[in-house]
Structure 1
């Protein structure tokens, strides 16, 4: 196996050099933007550091799962076309939904309730549907605590939850800084201490030394074996070697949904290791527009469930609804702090709807 780093101006230059040095079957492992030159950062230039890998010639016949560069570009074009169609459908749905709020002159308390849902960044289509149902059922409503249960009942249908059975390989993916490693540690602790499972950890987050060391510390405290892999092929070999464990939790490096190469790398990883469960981990404190982008772009990972983190770091709870409405995928867990393993709760539609209705009414009452 040959691994080589390149310092280039852009990805096209990198692709040309990689093809020339390593051949058509080479695969990009990582990309990062760095600054070089200048004096104390003044006058420095920004470069792209790209790390690529290629099999030796006598190994190439065994590596059928790696994408060629041309295939990646074609798949990305097809993906963008699909995304444009979905965006058009979403736009039409939002326009149709907005007709309700324009045509109906809402009573004052209903206006407060609608504004509160908007402040919590609840999807506008869902917000208008909730208000339409409430308006038909009650006409006007109080915005006091007595209405909490009825509001919760109208929210429940829009909160899709499911806690999966965790066995074999479980993959964690998501953007940078959302707390994947800590969330993995919380689930590992519960599986071992409460459910008495034989648990192992595999990490591919080799870009951040601190993350690997943090996971090693958690693993040592919980007496859970941990291994490191640098490529999808290595990860598959490690998983095969750990087949006797009940559950293998797989940590990955944070990826930007706006980086097509990183998304292609993630697609190749998922298709190589074929996890039993794949969690998309997203910070509850991200903007609604960013959430839409993350949910859409990370679809390359074929995630089966979602996890919302950092509930304790936001006052906007609308993503309790948004995450499953945007993705069609159930929400499995929510984390609300840094403590391992305490600060994680299993997602339950009724409980989460009650939490959201309580917070929405707080805003409505203050308005």
Structure 2
């Protein structure tokens, strides 16, 4: 048996050295983080100590001719060594996470690993090669010295007990599974090649759509790890894998529209995003498809002709309208609309990058269980501005978000970034000025098609 100790930067480095020097049947006994170098305890570098072992040629022949008594399990075949530079950072991180999670189990499985830091065993390891008998004696002696209050004689039965620990098939299986998983993570570039071309194309497409780099890496990495077939990933398979990741991301982030239990719907958002037109579309949908009686309240007294625009829509839809300027006005208007099933309140478009304007608007809104607050944002706005506005509004309570002007931009990635950072439900999209036609109910399939460019092909 050969036992070797490696000091490496990453687990893929260790895997490569172990396979090169000990062969594909080598077994990793333990992994441990350590620090080396430095001056007076400072500027030390983090490294990983890996202890691996393999059977010698003689012992391998003996194992073929008699019942299996080897101290270590057979290992699964490992892929060819992977150059560290070709392995994406996400996979190296995943391999390190798995190593950390399994560290305690490895220490429990192998007694020599538990005492590897002791001087006696370290001296054995530094010689690079030891016999099984010497290794077993050293392990038992060190364990005996560490026991407090008791002096135990190292007998033949103790050796047999220690050896029996190696025969725990369940724990051996866990080691094999961990090693196989680490090999899979380290070799996800299929040995020599990098990320498949089909996934690289989708990665570029998502980046061009304005999806954040963190979200793109998450989707692409998970899609690549889901690839279980042998051979290259074609375009169809790549799209299917990434589509699954996007659908998983959207789970729980898509709203069902205006709730049947809601009576007041507040529409808020910065100037120029199309709030008034969006209200007309939502009202028409509720009137014609759900047969609800609708009323309009507007507080947009800042923009020229804003009230007249909503009055025009109210006249076309045969909807009553009230103009308010204070919280008292809002309360009285709601009382006048007791006969209405649903009330839409239009708010003034202001520079809501300024939190003072947000606080002023909030004073007009009377939120309760029968109300919903929608934030309306334009997809033609900068992603950074959208996040700032959402952050200001979220302090006063938001429920759902509507994105407008989908037809005026080629990118829809910012809305994915926004619902990733804020607990908002994406409910509607608008893609034109026509009332009530240009209103889309957000669905996972619709959003995936928009993001991957399938609806415009």
State the TM-score, normalizing by the size of structure 1.
Answer: 0.66
Aligned match of 1:85: none
After TM superposition, give the deviation of residue 300 of structure 1 in Å: 3.4
1:98-177 equivalences under 5 Å are: 99-100=89-90, 105-138=194-227, 141-143=233-235, 147-159=238-250, 160-162=253-255, 163-166=257-260, 167-177=262-272
After TM superposition, give the deviation of residue 101 of structure 1 in Å: 8.6
CA distance in 2, matches of 1:101, 1:176: 44
Compared with structure 1, are the counterparts of its residues 260 and 295 closer, same or farther at alpha carbon in structure 2 (3 Å cutoff)?
Answer: closer
Higher radius of gyration, 1 or 2: 2
Of the structure 1 ranges 151-160 and 279-288, higher mean CA displacement relative to structure 2 is found in 151-160
**Does the aligned pair in 1 maintain the 2:206–2:452 contact within 8 Å?**
no
Aligned length: 264
CA distance in 1, matches of 2:430, 2:306: 18
Provide the secondary structure at the position in 2 that maps to 1:291: helix
Structure 1 runs of 4+ with >6 Å offset: 101-104, 272-275
Match of 2:374 among 279, 282, 307: 279
**Deviations 1:175-200 (Å, cap 9, x if unpaired)?**
11110100000011111122110100
Of the structure 1 ranges 263-272 and 314-323, higher mean CA displacement relative to structure 2 is found in 263-272
Compared with structure 1, are the counterparts of its residues 236 and 151 closer, same or farther at alpha carbon in structure 2 (3 Å cutoff)?
Answer: same
**Does the aligned pair in 1 maintain the 2:374–2:399 contact within 8 Å?**
yes
Provide the secondary structure at the position in 2 that maps to 1:269: coil
CA distance in 2, matches of 1:186, 1:108: 43
State the TM-score, normalizing by the size of structure 2.
Answer: 0.54
**Deviations 1:70-110 (Å, cap 9, x if unpaired)?**
xxxxxxxxxxxxxxxxxxxxxxxxxxxx9529988533433
Q: Which runs of 5+ in 2 are unaligned?
A: 1-87, 94-188
Aligned match of 1:39: none
**Does the aligned pair in 2 maintain the 1:334–1:346 contact within 8 Å?**
yes
CA distance in 1, matches of 2:279, 2:390: 20
After TM superposition, give the deviation of residue 286 of structure 1 in Å: 1.7
CA distance in 2, matches of 1:229, 1:101: 57
Provide the secondary structure at the position in 2 that maps to 1:176: coil
After TM superposition, give the deviation of residue 210 of structure 1 in Å: 1.7
**Deviations 1:194-223 (Å, cap 9, x if unpaired)?**
211010000000111322111110100111
1:77-96 equivalences under 5 Å are: none
**Deviations 1:283-318 (Å, cap 9, x if unpaired)?**
112222222212211113411111011000000021
Compared with structure 1, are the counterparts of its residues 305 and 234 closer, same or farther at alpha carbon in structure 2 (3 Å cutoff)?
Answer: same
Q: Which runs of 5+ in 1 are unaligned?
A: 1-97, 363-367
1:1-367 equivalences under 5 Å are: 99-100=89-90, 105-138=194-227, 141-143=233-235, 147-159=238-250, 160-162=253-255, 163-166=257-260, 167-271=262-366, 276-358=371-453
After TM superposition, give the deviation of residue 240 of structure 1 in Å: 2.1
